[in-house]
A and B are shown apart, each in its own frame.
Chain A
Amino acid sequence: MIQHLTSLPVLLPMLAGILLLMPPCGKNQSLRRFVSVTLSVVTFLISIVLLLKVQADGTQVYAIGDWSAPFGIVLVADPLSTLLTSLTALLGIVCVLYASAGDDAKGSFFHPLVHFLIFGVNGAFLTGDAFNLFVFFEVLLIASYALLMHGGDKKNTRAALQYVIMNLVGSAVFLIALGVLYGVLGTLNMADMAQKVGLLQGDDVYLAKIGGLLLLVVFALKGALLPLHLWLPNTYATAIPIVAALFAIMTKVGVYSMMRVYTLIFGDDAGELAHMAQDWLWWLALATIVMGAVGVLASQDLRKLIANLVIVSVGTLVALVTVQTVEASSAAIYYLVHSTLVTAALFILADLIGRQRGKVADRITVGTPVSQPKLLGTCFIIAAVAVIGMPPLSGFIGKVWLLKSTVNYEYSFIFWPLYLLASLAVLFAVSKAGSTVFWHHQTKFEGKVTDNRSPERIQQERVQPAELAALLILIVSAPLMSIFAGPLSEYAIDAATQLHDFNNNINIILSGDQ
């Protein structure tokens, strides 16, 4: 079994999806929930085991069908990809656990779809083959589309439709890009492509450039980089929040692909094509941060606010990726994990808050107070402090790190002010939102509020144990990521170092040398 470990974070979710469609899980809801949660935990544990193995033994290459690279498809488990599969699996646990409290019954096939989505995401993280990446993009796209419609209404279906059409166009562009690249390079394995790109002569260089730029368009669309981010705010804000929480990882797939493709294929050793479009990406990333900050200030409900926070974090991540140094990439890796977890936590909180506030839901306005102010308020403060990037939680370390890693970069004089002003906007908007939602009540008299909801209703709206567990998994990660910042930083730096080690990557993947 152990030699197949590398394939398990991909295959297990798929198996889970299948099992959940089959009898006896297909009909029996409580059994389905149990199996779904159990399997998500198993996926997570397996991912962690793989991560530890990679740490101990170095990068693992798994040749599917025993066809070695570049002819067959290989899965490549290195510190970065295993970190991300573990993160995805963790989000998976949170998602199915939370939904088991009732959200999963709002539509059909929730649990299998979540596992299929994880299948797609993990596949995209682990694959070393460009066309296989396309396939996994398709898997996660179709699964995410189905999940977007879960429990949906008119507004949500409309946003989901835009999402799927944009992404279908994206898929077409992806195919064209792969066709062009295959036409020039004659191979699809990313390491092999990287090797061949450096050897291109004459006009072939420009054809490869076309392929590379088109790939970038696709990743930018997935990652929601300006101006291809427009689909995101509405999509995330109208999806049911637990799905939006799971989607916290989706933009990261785009960013991750950028990281991979633009350090490996079009990295330092790509000859004329080294770091192409880096300037463009940099400015677009900065514009994305600004756009996200403007959106954060403009948001009138919590979910929209969080969706815009996602955009800010995407801009920040892409900016870091563009810098193309080990320091910046390691900061990006830490920030990526942090922002994924905290965004997911916020989406869940927005759901719980919205549910307990009745008609006003999660709108940032005067309204009915939540019925569990202590619990939700505390969690909100923790998540808010983390997302704003204030001490003592993970956001603070991310912030310090990313600033530190760009201190000598030539364009930091513009990045720093923009980023810090965006942080200030986030600080203002989030604290304003929190104080309005928790403290600004319709009827106020010395803190006592008359509540005309029936006790049964309030009981119903209370946070269920499964929901609380899911929420806490995310909430405690913020202090934990700060307390264990020492080992985590070591890990991130290690992952970034390997990401940038071109020759080593090529050797490991193409010859299986480890």
Chain B
Amino acid sequence: MTLLWIPLLSLIGSIISSMTGKLTRNQSTSLSLLMPFIALCITISFAPAVFSGEEVRETISWIPLLGINIAFRLDGLALLFVFMIITIGILVIFYARYYLSSKDSMPKLYSYLMLFMTAMLGIVMSNNVIQLWFFWELTSISSFLLISYWWYKSEARKGAIMALTITGGGGLALLAGLLIISNIVGSYSLDVILASRELIQSHNLYEVALILVLLGAFTKSAQFPFHFWLPHAMAAPTPVSAYLHSATMVKAGIFLLARFYPALAGTDIWFIIVSLTGMTTLLFGAYVALFKHDLKGLLAYSTISHLGLITLLFGLNTELATVAAIFHIINHATFKASLFMATGIIDHETGTRDMRKINGMWRYMPYTATLAMVAAASMAGVPLLNGFLSKEMFFAETLHQQLLGSMSWIIPVLATIAGAFSVAYSARFIHDVFFNGDPIDLPKEPSEPPRYMRVPIEILVALCLLVGIFPNFIVDDILTSASFAVLGGYVPEFKVSLWHGFNLPLLMSAFAVTGGLFMYTQRRHLFTFQASLPPLNAKKAFDNSIYVMIKWCQRKIGAIENGSLQRYLMLMFLIVLLGAGWPLFEMHELVGTKELTPVSMHSAVGAALLMIGAISTVIWYRTRMVSLLMISVVGLMVSVAFTRFSAPDLALTQLTVEVVTIVLLMLALFFLPQRSPKESSSMRIIRDISISAGLGIVVGSICYALITRPFESISNFFIANAKTGGGGTNVVNVILVDFRGFDTLGEICVLGIAALGISKLLINLPLFMPGSDSEGRPWARERYPILLASISQSLLPLALLVSVYIFLRGHNLPGGGFIAGLITAIAFILQYIAHGSNWISERLTINYRKIIASGLAIALLTGVGSWFFGRPFMTTWFDYFDIPFIGNIELASALVFDLGVYITVVGATLMILAHLGELTANAPKEEVNI
């Protein structure tokens, strides 16, 4: 389990340091350093084994069914990276102790830094590609947090979002690529994937997978044209830049190239994409770096350029080039980290990073200057320093390739030019900052930094020198074992040494150095030339394209979701038309085999009235009262139709529902304008008529097709069992309260909730109340016609009696709780109409909320009652009793359930009525007759 501890310790460190807010800076720093230090010791303990060619593995099961496990492995490549990540991490943490001002939160920075370290360690040690992606994306998140450390600065926020978007986008591509590769080899294990080179490369998805993986690598490693996030990530504090842009974040992409080298490299497409991207980035970065006035900007582009160099080396498809690439990874990490730190000191001491202001620093901080100059010389590739060695190898490898056929000579030439640029910007870094006259109005008086702030730089610069002078002694082991891992178990003969004799690479180096120095001396011309070029601002382009895209999205959304209910409904109807109409055309025969019954006169007249009612409703929809009356005709005809076709229960229900809804609608209409303006254009009317006619035709055809076909259904079961199983002869009612009583329970709930909802909507709702009708006529003087009042009062007991009768007989004859409830409600509605709501509310102080609740409770508890007899919910019970004076009657639990239905219906209807009525009752003027 020791391997697991390496990332785990760093994660623990992240958590610990986030809690050091109360401690002093020194305490916080030393506590934060502890965990990575232990992790480093563990790493070192593994080194001998790895150097001897072993690969250490550990696996913990996580989501075995998906093949996703926590799997770590440590081979030469991983060891190299782990070593770099932790060492430079420790140095950066130490450095940040002196860099951060007292206003900045140290625990936050440390915590994020170590979270980032964890993510990086996870990437390089993963043995499962999903886990690799997991940590890959974790670096995106943690780098977002690090770059936005100074969140109140606009450029920090923007830089962080840009980095996250670009690298996150690349991450998504990477995920897709990894999944495709895993699907090809049938495993998420890196071990398996790396061993399946032929399988992967012969698969027809190889190109797709390769491009996706490379997208991930290139975005992370800031390769052209995805490079532009990197300079903007410089808004982060300098320690963060030193960490992210030397050894970690950007190296993750490079690591990916190295990691998948055994499985993906070696093909033409790999060479074309990787080497061309690398070459472009190398040249572009080196060129732009020269013109940056911001110290960190210069380093940023130099980083881009060096990353391009490493990418190019991987793209060359030769073993030695790969070794050179790995070597340069190490060298770049050391000199770039130290340069960033030196820049941080200069920034810290002078208060600016503008090279046009910072001049002549040699006088103020000679010690720091020496360190920075050594590191910069290494960056330029000056002999005796590590940068020289890997650059020399790079030049040599550009000579050995034959990839462009007869035009292969172009690669070394371009490499030399890029080398010259890198000498030029290194020269600028040294000369401009440390010499070149006097500083120009600096915000601060510069001096040497605190003693210990220089320590990390000293260590790194010492490494640059040691590696540069004694390459074999220092890096041989680790370079060999890393190359061994990348090349898949084969290391070419290579010899890293200072002196290879007079040869072509040395000549190229010489050209690069002299050319670079010459360029620097002639920089004025170059700067004028550069200034005359059209400004190329990738950030602006990025921002603009985002802006354009968002505006486009907003326009589209605004146009589509325009809030028009008509449009939404039209879409809905069109889809219904399509869904229901299309299969109709596939049918061979619409009419079924059943014989048609002859049309009687009554039916014909009824159907005609129904149609007239429906059409009139639409024609007069702008005169709402007329329209409402026409709807009632429709309703009435439907109930007549039910009677005609022997469905008395339905007819009764329809009739009572009709009465209640029409009255309630009339009440509602009172608050609405009585006429609505003409709003539809003629085109719109044609469109709407077509849609509705289409729907009518389709639904009508479907109905016709259905009723002309023989029909077999479960209804026979209901008819057979209604009496014996449900204890009632009215099958409809038995279905409602027994067979499908659960539906009824749901529906009365709907009714109850509707009443609650309406009450909720209407409470305290201020509504305009017209004082007259639409023609300007005042409402009738006689608010409550005496005749109606007296008749309705005498009707009330009668109506109640009827409803009781209808209720009781429901189980065997047409009727039941629902209908009875509506009849009761209608009786009360009549009272409201006749006397006004004030009159009623004085006499009838009923809490409808409680009524509804108790109705529902009765229904529910009746259902629950069957539990006590060991039966499922709503199992009914009935029996026949001989009761004195009354005779033999049936008692059924369904009747109690029906009582619940009855009460709910009454409560809900009256609640709605009362609330609508109350609205008018509170009118400031004299009470309005409703």
Contacts and interface: CB of A to CB of B under 8 A. Distances in A.
Interface in A130-173: 131-132, 135-136, 138-139, 142-143, 145-146, 149-150, 157-158, 161-162, 165-166, 169-170, 173
A213 B576 CA distance: 8
A490 B583 contact: no
Contacts of B740: 72-73, 131-132
B213 to A, nearest CB: 14
Given A18-B853, A113-B760, A431-B165, 19 more contacts: A66-B875, A108-B763, A109-B756, A113-B753, A113-B756, A132-B743, A149-B757, A206-B587, A210-B702, A221-B572, A390-B137, A391-B138, A392-B138, A408-B183, A416-B176, A420-B172, A420-B173, A424-B165, A428-B165
A227 interface: yes
A339 interface: no
A116 interface: yes
Contact of B739 (A65, A220, A392, A403): A65
Contacts of A26: 847, 849-850, 853
Given A71-B718, A71-B739, A400-B68, A66 B62 contact: no
Contacts of B62: 485-486
A209 B572 contact: no
Nearest to B858: A18
A119 B553 CA distance: 38
A91 B852 CA distance: 26
Query: Of A145, A234, A486, which is in contact with the most chain B CB atoms at under 10 Å from its CB?
Result: A486
Given A11-B873, A486-B64, A435 B753 contact: no
A72 B863 CA distance: 14
Interface in A391-442: 391-392, 396-397, 399-401, 403-404, 407-408, 416, 420, 423-424, 427-428, 431-432, 435-436, 438-441
Interface in A435-482: 435-436, 438-441, 444-447
A139 B760 contact: no
Interface core residue of B154, B172, B563, B713 (most chain A CB under 10 Å):
B172
Nearest to A494: B65
A396 B553 contact: no
Contact of B553 (A67, A138, A220, A295): A295
Contacts of A22: 850, 853-854, 857
Contacts of A135: 742-743, 746-747, 750
Given A230-B571, A391-B135, A485-B63, A132 B746 contact: yes
B785 to A, nearest CB: 35
A397 B875 contact: no
A298 B754 contact: no
Interface string A14-41: 1101100111001000000000000000
A247 interface: no
Interface residues of B, number: 119
Contacts of B759: 108-109
A54 interface: no
Nearest to A330: B65
Contact of A183 (B63, B563, B706, B863): B706
Interface in B839-898: 847, 849-850, 852-854, 856-857, 860, 863-864, 866-867, 871-876
Nearest to A110: B760
Interface in A220-249: 220-221, 227-228, 230-231, 233-234
Given A149-B760, A204-B709, A391-B138, A230 B561 contact: yes
B contact patch SS: helix
A217 interface: yes
Nearest to A169: B572
B757 A142 contact: yes
A176 B699 contact: yes
Helix, strand, loop or mixed for chain A's interface? helix
Contacts, number: 333
B597 to A, nearest CB: 17
Specify which of B65, B582, B864 lies most central, judged by the most chain A CB atoms within 10 Å of its CB: B65
Interface in A183-235: 183-188, 192, 202-204, 206-207, 209-210, 213-214, 216-217, 220-221, 227-228, 230-231, 233-234
Interface in B550-564: 550, 553-554, 556-558, 560-561, 563
A455 to B, nearest CB: 23
Nearest to A391: B134
B53 interface: no
A274 interface: no
B749 A116 contact: yes
A64 B761 contact: no
Interface centre among B175, B754, B860, B867 (most CB of A within 10 A): B175
Nearest to B69: A486
4 A-B pairs with the lowest CB-CB distances in the bound complex, closest first: A186-B713, A146-B757, A213-B579, A21-B853
Interface in A265-305: 291, 294-295, 297-298, 300
A397 B853 CA distance: 45
Given A207-B583, A213-B583, A391-B137, A64 B873 contact: yes
Given A18-B860, A65-B873, A135-B743, A407 B180 contact: yes
A217 B576 contact: yes
B554 A435 contact: no
B152 A446 contact: yes
B66 A401 contact: yes
Contacts of B747: 135, 138
A9 interface: no
Contacts of A234: 561, 563
B392 interface: no
Interface string B686-707: 0000000000000100100111
B141 interface: yes
A125 interface: no
22 contacts: A1-B867, A4-B873, A21-B849, A26-B849, A64-B872, A73-B743, A109-B849, A139-B753, A145-B757, A146-B754, A173-B576, A217-B572, A294-B556, A294-B557, A298-B554, A390-B141, A396-B134, A397-B66, A400-B175, A428-B164, A436-B157, A441-B152
Which residue, A131, A135, A170, has most C-beta atoms of chain B within 10 A?
A135
Nearest to A176: B699
Contact of B746 (A7, A136, A217): A136
A180 B872 contact: no
Contacts of A1: 867
Contacts of B583: 206-207, 209-210, 213
A513 to B, nearest CB: 17
B749 A14 contact: yes
A139 B850 contact: no
B717 interface: yes
A148 B329 CA distance: 59
Given A14-B749, A420-B172, A428-B161, A142 B754 contact: yes
B151 interface: yes
B226 to A, nearest CB: 13
B144 interface: yes
A62 interface: yes
A123 interface: yes
B553 to A, nearest CB: 4
B684 interface: no
Contacts of B709: 183, 204
Given A14-B749, A14-B860, A397-B63, A424 B756 contact: no
B561 A399 contact: no
Contacts of B777: none
A466 to B, nearest CB: 22
A315 interface: no
Contacts of A179: 706
A165 B569 contact: yes
A112 interface: yes
Contacts of B550: 297-298
Interface string B121-146: 00000000010011101101100100
Contacts of B717: 71
A210 B706 CA distance: 12
Nearest to B165: A428
